[in-house]
A and B are shown apart, each in its own frame.
Chain A
Amino acid sequence: MNLLISVIAILVIALLAIGMAMSQVPAYILTGIIPYAAFAVFFCGFIYRIVQWAKSPVPFRIPTTCGQEKSLPWIQNNPLENPCCKASVIGRMAGEIFLFRSLFRNTNVRIIGGRPVYGSAKWLWFFGLMFHWSLLIIVLRHLRFFTEPIMPFVSGLSALDGFLEIGVPVLYISDAALLAGLTFLFLRRVVLPQVRYISLFIDYFALLLVAGIAVTGLLMRHFFPVDLNAVKTMTLGWVTFAPVSLQNVSLTLYLHLCFVFILIAWLPWSKLMHLGGIFMSPTRNVINNNRSQRHVNPWNAPVKVHTYAEYEDEFRDKMKAAGLPVEKE
């Protein structure tokens, strides 16, 4: 059901894009106004969300420790899994962000012969990592549309990405990897009963939206070539705040743009905000030095306690009878 609604939503967006492309004025809206609107929503939304998270304090230092703590000097501690200083927090976070360290631990469980058996389950990690890295590379490659001349690292990245030199124009490895990653993530969500059970509309929608972007992009590159000069004129127009209206550009481009703008405008308000959130996770980004460095809770509120005096008042006679020392005779 959620899947069906997501497919319908994507189709509606596509139709909308096609409709806009058909007539002059809405087409200008898509290439001249919406880019700024989408980017503004993205930029403000992203900052808003980060600020909103940052405004809530971290009252307690609650790292999840996944390795030996730093205690006695002769015991080998594990700084990456149990950070003992700032550098090791940075190391741990780098592992999480660039290598998906925690996901790499993934296992599955099956009941075999009347007992649970844990198996290695690295595919989610593998395809997840592949998906995210290719997405990053693809985004960086697109920078060539936004600077003139093209920044050397962008050209270098593109050359490296296409080093297999399959086809004309060459197939980028990142494109293939992105599609493979997306396919895996999508099939996993649809096929595995447990994952399907927890999936919401937005989970399918996010995947389909990125898939829409990827497919339209690939179509333009390999099957329905667009006038790249015209495209670059348009994108440079955005950057220089002098948007130009495009004449006779392909429908595929309009679809591509439409999906992209929806994605970036929606991102801050969706689960895709894990992009920013991962940096702020208090079980990962703090040092496990709770007993050596006091952590201060800004709202540490007073509470009603039961004092020793109250305790002794209640039990004084019994304490004396048991021969225990008391404060007041």
Chain B
Amino acid sequence: MSFAKIPKPDELINIEYAPPKTEWRKTPVDFRPGTWSYAAAAKNLMALGMPNPRAWQPSDADWKLPENWKQIILDGMKERLEKYRSFRLFMDICVRCGACADKCHFYIGSGDPKNMPVLRAELIRSVYRRYFTMAGRCFGTLAGARDLTEDVLKEWFYYFYQCTECRRCSVFCPYGIDQAEITMIGRELLNLVGCNINWALEPAANCFRTGNHLGIQPGGMKDMLEFMADDIEDRTGVRVDVPINKKSADILFVTPSADYFADPGTYTCMGYMMLFHEIGLNYTFSTYASEGGNFGLFTSHDMIKRLNAKIYAEAKRLGVKWILGGECGHMWRVIHQYMDTLNGPADFLQEPVSPITGTRFENARSTKMVHIVEFTADLIRNSKLKLDPQRNSHIKLTFHDSCNPARAMGLFEEPRYIIENTCRNFYEMAEDTIREKTFCCGAGAGLGNEENMEMRMRGGMPRAMAVRDVVRKYGVNRLGCICAIDRATLTTLMDYWVPGVSVMGVHELLGNALVMKDEKERMTDLRGEEIGGE
């Protein structure tokens, strides 16, 4: 990752919150390098059968829109107003109190008023009023309405791809207006005329074809997992199995592919594999459903469904009893709030019961998919694991609540319970920055690319600064999380704002602490770093 092209941290922190002199409708978007993502390549749109594949970039003057683009957008809006109560209601009831304004990490980090969720929503609300309300049709600007023009569309593109759908604003809104919902629908509309970003569409196209967002083919996946098994053997002296596409398995395990592709996610994945080996879980990975993360969430509701369908289909084909899901943020938004509705009912599966403790996961009785931290917390609670927190004594940890498990599930205590049982040095960040008030990594929802680096560092600033506080106060050197995007993007964010802090999943912590049968004396943690050293 290169920070060469973006301002230094001490320059970037000089944020001006005073709005510009020109009113927002008359302030056009400036596609400044470093603050937007490249357009989706035509091949990815074609792979997914999506409209208007072409070569273009947002910085071009001509976006090569279809001739009737305006009609397509307005028809699309009408359709969605009729399909989503959330959309219609959120278009109507905002009073512009501004409580959401300084809750958005992109606003805090950029000072751009159109990053206040209220104004980001007004970008589309003004068009809604103009074409779908009587007041807007009759009184125009006076009623807060404006015409849909190409400039408005460009503004939508810039700001809807400057929102990570983290839902922090909706925690503070007195009516629960959720900018994520508006962004999702705004992006759907943009997709209708072929305005999308490659970092969201290429992963989606890859997931569709190969099962995972990196486009890893079956053999490659097997090699990577075997390689991790080698590493585990090297560190622990124990050889773990790597079951893939195994038909007699009880449990299908689905995790974000980033967990088996790149550091530091791989250490988390090693943690899972060690855990499953130690408790003798009869599970399997799948190459067809080899991605937990759902990149459809950043494109459209249809795309969520198209990609998510693989998980149940594979569970059915393999004949497993239920599904276990790895540490991932937006993956869990989809599994918790969308999967059963989209692709259920999963009546071919059984109500999840832990084969080790006998615990019934009643909260997952219909969807039949359990979060790994729920599963592991239950194992620890029932004393099924032998843990040695001393092996994490070189780690001074703080924990980042990932947006979606926090604000779309309420998964707060389970990861903390695992942490408390595996690590002695745990320090919480400031109250305004954790749990339901947690700050996004600044690079979720398809924005974690190189070209968008300045905006990522701006959006991630509130999170990074909260980490810096505990670094200064307690000497924290590790940031824990339960999200694969976090593990990739927070690493970059820390390098920029708080050098010296590395990022880990909770199951890496567990892997370090897990005392395995017949293991050799552990000299290093899963990263190969000396235990007890700095």
A and B pair up: yes
The chain A residues found within 8 Å of chain B, CB to CB, are 1, 5, 49, 52-72, 74-78, 81-82, 96, 100, 102-103, 105-109, 111, 114-116, 118, 124, 128, 192-195, 197-203, 269-274, 277-278, 280-284, 288-297, 299-301, 303-308, 311-312, 314-315, 318-319, 321-325, 327
B19 touches A197 (CB 8 A): yes
Take A118-B432, A200-B144, A270-B135 as given contacts and tell me if A280 and B344 are in contact as well, using a CB distance cutoff of 8 Å: no
Interchain CB contact under 8 A, B13 and A65: no
Is B118 engaged at the interface, CB distance under 8 Å to the other chain? yes
Interface contacts beyond A53-B88, A292-B365: sample of 7 additional A-B pairs, CB < 8 Å, sorted by A: A66-B171, A67-B410, A68-B413, A71-B374, A194-B98, A290-B340, A292-B366
Query: A72-B414, A200-B96, A291-B364 known; A56 and B340 CB under 8 Å?
Result: no
Q: CB of B252 within 8 A of chain A?
A: no
The reply on B149 being an interface residue by CB < 8 A is: no
A60's partner among B144, B287, B337 (CB-CB below 8 A) is B337
* B86 with A319: CB separation less than 8 A: no
Binary flags per residue of B253-291, CB closer than 8 Å to A gives 1, else 0: 000000000000000000000000000000000011000
Query: Is B122 on the interface with A (CB-CB < 8 A)?
Result: yes
CB-contacts of B69-101 with A (<8 A) = 81-89, 92-99, 101
Whether B413 contacts A103 by the Cβ 8 Å rule is no
> When chains A and B are docked, how far (Å) is the Cα of A306 from the Cα of B287?
13
Expressed in whole angstroms, the Cα–Cα distance for A284 and B425 within the complex equals: 36
Task: From the candidates A59, A116, A294, name the one contacting B83 in the complex (CB within 8 A).
Answer: A59
In the complex, which residues of chain A have a beta carbon less than 8 angstroms from the beta carbon of B108?
A: 109, 116
Q: Which of B190-198, B307-315, B484-492, B515-523 contacts A (4 or more CB under 8 A)?
A: B307-315
Complex contact B363–A274 (CB within 8 A):
no
For A103, the closest partner residue in chain B by CB is B174
Asked if A308 contacts B314 (CB within 8 A), the reply is yes
User: How distant is the Cα of A292 from the Cα of B103 in the complex, in angstroms?
Assistant: 31
For the complex, give the distance between the alpha carbons of A271 and B365 in Å. 40
Alpha-carbon distance A107/B87, docked complex (angstroms): 26
Interface size class of B (residues with CB under 8 A): 35 or more
| Given known A-B contacts A66-B436, A69-B410, A49 and B317 have beta carbons under 8 A apart | no
Candidates A49, A72, A100, A291; contact of B365 at CB < 8 Å: A291
- Do A321 and B408 touch across chains, with their CB atoms under 8 A apart? no
B222 touches A78 (CB 8 A): no
Secondary structure dominating the interface of B: helix
Chain A residue nearest to B141 in the complex (CB)? A201
Within 8 A of A (CB), among B379-426: 381, 406-414, 417
Q: Verify if B142 is at the interface (C-beta below 8 Å from A).
A: yes
Option from B19, B102, B313, B344 in Cβ contact (under 8 Å) with A308: B313
Residue of B nearest to A270 (CB): B135
CB pair B410 A78 closer than 8 Å: yes
CB contacts (< 8 Å) of A100 on chain B: these are 174
Task: Return B405 CB to nearest CB of chain A, in Å.
Answer: 9
- Cβ A281 vs Cβ B102 within 8 A: no
Indicate if the CB atoms of B122 and A68 lie closer than 8 Å. Answer: no
Across the interface, A295 reaches (CB within 8 A) one of B88, B167, B247, B340, namely B340
User: Is B52 at the interface (CB under 8 A from chain A)?
Assistant: no
A64:B218 contact, CB within 8 angstroms: no
A280 to B86 Cα, complex, angstroms: 9
Instruction: Give Cα A187–Cα B419 distance, bound, in whole angstroms.
Output: 48
Min C-beta distance of A226 to chain B, whole Å: 33
Complex contacts, A116 vs chain B, CB 8 Å = 108, 461-462, 465
Closest A residue by C-beta to B102: A109
Q: Does B59 contact A (CB under 8 A)?
A: no
Which residues of B sit under 8 angstroms from A315, Cβ to Cβ?
210, 217-218, 287
Q: Are A53 and B89 in contact (CB under 8 A)?
A: yes
What's the Cα separation between A81 and B245 when bound, in Å?
40
